[in-house]
Structures are given as structure tokens and as C-alpha cells.
Structure 1
Amino acid sequence: MSQKNLIVAFGGVSPEHEVSVLTAIQAISALEESSYNCIPLYITKSGRWLTGEKLLDLSNYKEISKLESDAISCAFVKDETGRTLLKEQESAGFFSKPKSYPVYAVLCAFHGSEGENGSFQGVCEMMNVPYSGSGVLGSSLGMDKVKAKLVATANGIPVTKAVNFYESDWEKEQEEIINVAEDFGYPLIVKPVSLGSSIGVAIANTREELVNSIETAFRYDAHLLIEEAVNPLMEINCSVIGTPEDCRPSVCEKPLGQTETLSFEDKYQSGGGEKGMASADRVIPADISKELTKKIRDLATKTFSVLDASGIARLDFLVNANTKEVYFNEINTIPGSFSFYLWDKSDIPFNMLLEELIDIGLKKHREKNGRVRSYETNLLSEKAIKGIKGLKGSKN
């Protein structure tokens, strides 16, 4: 069987850059025996697009400046037939020519910022190439915790009380914002609105800690969220695969962190770091009742659908350990390690999970191209252009 070029896109201008590298290398390794020819598309922290075989070796990322100098600049281009190619912008050697790879599909392995917020997905849409995961709307909703909660609330999905504000609001209305937040009662959770992996997230038990946490979080995002804390807290996560019209949940997990809320270190460095999200300590399946498991899985699929997610996502929930009340916390539209550890416990190995993820993207692309995508008019005909020119000379 001839291999098809699968562009694995990762890295990006994001605080979660390194996590994305881990996820991409894991996926490429899992697809070694597949029908796909995995071509790396690494976006550096400065936004350069690079490709080349050296990007496939995780050990090379220890010397990132050397790796970037050894890799090859590239870009998406259209050939004369309209086909999209990943084209090298320079040759790999003195006697070689730049290579071009016809794009069969793109596997998005970004985490955070421009790679996960819909921006890169928009590039894929413009280039008309199939890509994995949520589309532009679902990706942008998933990255914005405030908008995601608004959509969830409008659809009867419970969320915790919260107040959100921009840096300009904080400069003018600091006292008012603090007073609203303190009405929820301490402890309070401070979060950047558009970041994942718990970067910039902090627990505040006093006003002083609250102010310090807010000032720190503004280093990462200009839009922040202060939430009431669920106490006593139990975090339960569930992955979902499919489309808004047809999706199914994985088993649930109960993450185990060193603090009340999982930190970046809890998620990615507890097992040495090289396994990405799969290194975190967790109980799978979560040791909760059948009733609570069903409730969370049902909420996960409903939230996945109303947020217009697609592909694989992980939905995180906050549970009051005493009352068993459940609150939607956030959705990760490209979860660390593609949440393969949850699907492995659901009897789907990583390679098959990735194959299904790619197939979902291919199906969405076929459906999109099966619709009318242009509308023939005579707007630019000679007569119409004369009419437009006439408008320039008209007076109100």
C-alpha cells in the first residue's frame, strides 16, 4: 500500500510548546506501522515553519538552537492543479533540490495559543486540506474559558461562579473586582482565560494572595478569570471522540496532584516528563459510583457537542466530594498525548485512536467539499463594473 503524507503539526508560539513536542513525537511513534508517511511540521517559538528528519528525534530538542539551524524552512503552497503541498523553502544539501510533499491530511498536535485556538485550523481551511480535531469555531471556543462557560450555561450545563476581567479593567476597577470575587468566599482560583496545562493558575486564600496571583497571571494573558473553589474538591476528566452529531465518551479518570488543583508539574513532570500527559498520576477508571460516572460521561458528550468540538477532546469536571455536585471546568480540544491513556483503558490502542481521529478529519473535509463552495454571479461583468464606477461620482 502506498503511503500517504500525514503532516504532523506541532510546537507553536505557546507556553505549552514543549508539551506539544512530546505529544507529536508520541503520535509519530504510534503511527510507525501505519499507511501514513509522517512529515513533521514544527513551528518554532518565534513562528518559523520547519521540517526535516531531525525533527523526528526527541533527543535533538535538547539543543533547540542547533535543531532549528539544521531543520529546513517550509510552507504550504498550491501547485498548478490547486493541490496543497508542504514545500521545503531550501534544500537539505548542496546537491539536493527542495522537496515537496502533497498533503493527504494534517494531524494537529499543538497545545495552547495559535495552534489550538483556531488560527492554524483557519490556515488549513484556507488551504483546503483535511485536518484533525475541532474546526475554527470549536477550537476558539475551547481556548476561551469565559466563552465556553457562557455557551455551557446557556445549554443547562452547570459551571462554578466566576468573574472575568481584562488588564485594563484591573487598572481602573481593582477594588470592585476583588469585592465581587470575595463574595464567592476564599479560597479562590485565578486563571488566564486562554491558556491550558494549568499555566498561570493559582489558588488564593487571602486578598494579598489574590492580588499577587492576578499580577502573575497577567504575565501570560490579558484576560483573567476568578472562580469560586469547589470544596472538598474531586477532579474527574473524561475524553470524547467524534463529531458534534455523533460522539462517544471514554472511561473517566481521577487525576492525583500534589496540590488541590493540578499544576503544570503534576500534569507533565511527575514521571520524568518524557511521557507528556501520560506521566501524570491518576486513577483509571476513576473510583467513583456508576451513577456519578454516567452523569459525567453524559455531561462530557453534551458539552462536546454544544461547544462544536470534533476529533478527540478531554473535558475536565469539578466534583464536590461530599454532595457529588458536578461542574464543567474546561475542554481541551487537543488534549495532551491525545488522551490515549483513557482510550487505552477503553480498549482502543493509541495507533487505532489516531487512525480514527484522522478519519474524522477526512470525513469532515469530504462533507465540506461536497457542498456548494462558490456562487457564480456577474458582479464583475463589464456592466456591473461600470455601475460601480458610476457610484464613485454620485453625491448624497
Structure 2
Amino acid sequence: MSSPWAVLFGGPSPEHEISILTGLQSERVLTASGEAVLPIYWAPNGEWWLVPAGTEAKDYLTGVPKGSKAVDVRVSGDTGLYVKKRALDISAVLLTLHGGLGEGGGAAALFTLLGIPATGSTLFAGAVGMDKLAFGGLMEVAGIPTLRRELLSATHAPSFPGPYIVKPRFGGSSIGIEIVEDVDAARAVASASAHLRAGAVVEPYRPELVDLNIGFRTFPQLAVTALEKPIRVNAENGLYSYADKYLSGGAGSEVGLTSAPREFPANVPDAVATLAAELATRVAEVTGLTGVVRVDLLLDESNGELFVNEVNSIPGAMSLYLWAPQAPAATVLKDALVEARDRRVVTPASGFGSGAALRAAGGIAGKLVGLDGPRG
């Protein structure tokens, strides 16, 4: 009998609540298909918990659900996840950590150290996807159409005029985003927002552009979804916001993006749909992102011009709603888990070589000479 899967949700991120919803949805989908699943919650205080099966969103409002068991995360010695000093036997972990360290490659690095297969991308690909400046630069170098994106700096003005969209350099696709008229306003917003203090980027604000989304997955082979056109509930806001994505379904609705207003498939010309699929394929190739991924696009309906905006390597609701016409949700999730379980990531060998560098080093004190700063 094979070992169970695990689903990890929560984590250190502004999108912690949405991660809980995606995790619970994914657990329910896998369990309903006959899979054995261990749901693991990464609490805001950093503690990890093995929670009871079938918990609901309301069970997390006041902390950890009743009946949960503490999980010990060991990265040295006998690595792994432990409950009451016994290692959990896990085939692979489905990561449903949105934004932050989880989606930005941190969780991938952690599970590499733990020796447990985990879904999604490698540390390196995930980090590129989360760094908006790096991702935008990569798109430009690869010849993939994207809006101009530059670092918001205290000393250099953007090379293009406002108005601007100001975004966190490191962060998700919805939180901390503002529209401003000029660079002074952009700098003021960046200094006042906790989401922008670690770095911010600016893009030209193009209110005529329309949001489109498309998904891709990389196992058992590269495949893409049809196009989705998300609907902005608060059109006067000028942005497809966090509230539009995750809160517009109302109380009692299904999880976040699954019930958000949308046009699916999007009513666009065939040429636009074909180009979107080509761009999603190129993004997959250039970034090396794996698993279940969503690509956010912008369309100029006046001329059919299409731009790659952002990529989400762990998308809300795992983009299961995009795959529904092609594959059951359980198949999408299980394929991602099998991909992780069977993937062999080649990493550089670690440990000592011949010891030649250490023998030749001499005393450490000699390497500190001249490092004590200027002399008066």
C-alpha cells in the first residue's frame, strides 16, 4: 500500500487565509477520490499542525482546530516531519501556500532539505516567478510581450511617464497594488505601505487593457487551459483586486476564485486565444515553472495586442476551475503529486572534496588583515 499524500496550507503570507481555503478544498477533492491525505496547517506563529480530516474554514478563526497534533519539522539528523517523535510517511506534499515564502521558492527549498517530494517549482524558478522585476526582465529578454516594468527608486525616475501602477516587487498579484499619477506619489505610497517597503516596481497604467487568465500544467505533458476573463466587481477601482478575486462570492460561497465572477471561456477572437496559449507555453519553457500554474495576461481589445503580466506558481484554488472542462479536479491534483514524487531534481554534490582548500587556507586570522576599516 502506498504512503498517503499530504496537503500543506497556511504559511507566512498576507494570503494566509486564501491558502487555508485552497488547502481545505484540495484535501476534500483528493479524499473524495479515494486518496489518503494528511492535512498539515502552517500557523501564523510558525507552528505546524496535523489537523483532523474534513475541517472547515470557520475552524481556523480562533486558532488551530481542536484535535490537531503538533508537527516537528526536522532539517538535520533524521530529517522529515514528525508527530510525537514518529516520522510521517508521506509520498509527496501538495503545496497550497500562496504568496510569500511558500510560493516564492522557500517551501521548495525546505522540502528539498527535508527529503520529501513537494509539488510546484524549484526554489530557483519559484523565486523568479515571485520577483516581479526579475520576471518582467526575463520576459523582455525572451521576447515575450510584457508591459515595461522598472524598479521604483529614490534616486532614478522611471523611463516612461505616469500614471503608474505601483506593485510590491516581491509579492502576490493582488495585495499592495496602487494607481498613482506621478513618481512622487509612487514614492510616497511605497514608503507608507508595509507591502512595498521591501521593494516596489512601477508599470504604465493602461486602463483600457482587459484582464485574462490562462493555466498550464507540466504533467503528464505540458497542457494549457482555455482563456478566462475575470470580471471586476468594482470597475471604478481600475484594478482586478483581492476583493474581486477572493471575496466577491459572498458568505457561504465556494472557495475564493472558484466562485468569483468570470467569463469562461472568454469571448475573444480565435487569434487571441491561440496567441494566449502560445504565450503560456513560452512562459513555461522560459521560467522552468512546473506543476499547476496560472499566467495573468492583459489584452488591448482595440488591436488584439496581448501582454504577459504575471505568473502564479501556486494559484488560488489551484486553478481547478480552469481545468474543469478538460480534467476532473482530482486528476489535476494527483498528476501534480505524481510529478513531484517521481521528479528527480539534479543538485550539485555537497560535502568535502579533497580538503585541498582547507589545508591551503592557513590561519583564519591572516584572512582578516586589512578588514578593520580605515585608520585615522
So what's the TM-score if we normalise by structure 2?
0.86
Ranges in structure 2 where 5+ consecutive residues have no aligned partner: 368-376
Distance 1:106 1:49 in 2: 14
Q: Deviations over 1:137-184 (max 9, x none)?
A: 11111111110111111110111123213xxx43xx3xx43xx36x43
Give the CA deviation at 1:277. 1.5
Identify the residue that residue 42 of structure 1 maps to in structure 2: 41
Please state if 1:88 is matched with 2:60: no
Identify the residue that residue 71 of structure 2 maps to in structure 1: 74
Secondary structure at 1:141 match in 2 = helix
Identify the residue that residue 15 of structure 2 maps to in structure 1: 16
Higher helix proportion (structure 1 or 2) = 1
Distance 1:143 1:376 in 2: 30
> Taking structure 1 as reference, are residues 372 and 308 closer, same or farther at Cα in structure 2, changes over 3 Å only?
closer
Give the CA deviation at 1:343. 0.3
Distance 2:76 2:205 in 1: 54
Q: 2:212 aligns with which of 229, 233, 236?
A: 236
Please state if 1:265 is matched with 2:252: no
Question: 1:354 corresponds to which letter in structure 2?
Answer: L
Please state if 1:316 is matched with 2:296: yes
> Taking structure 1 as reference, are residues 33 and 228 closer, same or farther at Cα in structure 2, changes over 3 Å only?
same
Please state if 1:350 is matched with 2:329: yes
Identify the residue that residue 26 of structure 1 maps to in structure 2: 25
So what's the TM-score if we normalise by structure 1?
0.82
Instruction: Please give the root-mean-square deviation of Cα atoms over the aligned residues, in Å.
Output: 3.0
> Taking structure 1 as reference, are residues 63 and 261 closer, same or farther at Cα in structure 2, changes over 3 Å only?
same
Asked whether the 8 Å contact 1:160–1:227 carries over to 2, the reply is yes
Give the CA deviation at 1:395. 8.3
Asked whether the 8 Å contact 1:4–1:36 carries over to 2, the reply is no
Ranges in structure 1 where 5+ consecutive residues have no aligned partner: 90-97
Distance 1:360 1:289 in 2: 34
Q: Identity rate of aligned residues, in percent?
A: 26
Give the CA deviation at 1:219. 4.0
Asked whether the 8 Å contact 1:241–1:311 carries over to 2, the reply is yes
Secondary structure at 1:111 match in 2 = coil
Please state if 1:151 is matched with 2:138: yes
Equivalent pairs counted in the alignment come to: 362
Please state if 1:297 is matched with 2:277: yes
Secondary structure at 1:157 match in 2 = coil
Distance 1:372 1:14 in 2: 28
Secondary structure at 2:308 match in 1 = strand
Please state if 1:184 is matched with 2:161: yes
> Taking structure 1 as reference, are residues 317 and 376 closer, same or farther at Cα in structure 2, changes over 3 Å only?
closer
Distance 2:105 2:39 in 1: 20
Identify the residue that residue 334 of structure 1 maps to in structure 2: 314
Q: Deviations over 1:296-319 (max 9, x none)?
A: 110011012201100010000111
> Taking structure 1 as reference, are residues 44 and 394 closer, same or farther at Cα in structure 2, changes over 3 Å only?
closer
Q: 2:225 aligns with which of 250, 268, 276?
A: 250
> Taking structure 1 as reference, are residues 4 and 231 closer, same or farther at Cα in structure 2, changes over 3 Å only?
same
Distance 2:363 2:183 in 1: 60
Give the CA deviation at 1:348. 0.7
> Taking structure 1 as reference, are residues 222 and 79 closer, same or farther at Cα in structure 2, changes over 3 Å only?
closer
> Taking structure 1 as reference, are residues 333 and 375 closer, same or farther at Cα in structure 2, changes over 3 Å only?
closer
Secondary structure at 1:59 match in 2 = helix
Q: Deviations over 1:91-149 (max 9, x none)?
A: xxxxxxx6542121111000011111111110111122211111111111111111011
Which structure 2 residues correspond to residues 208-219 of structure 1 after superposition, within 5 A?
210-219=186-195
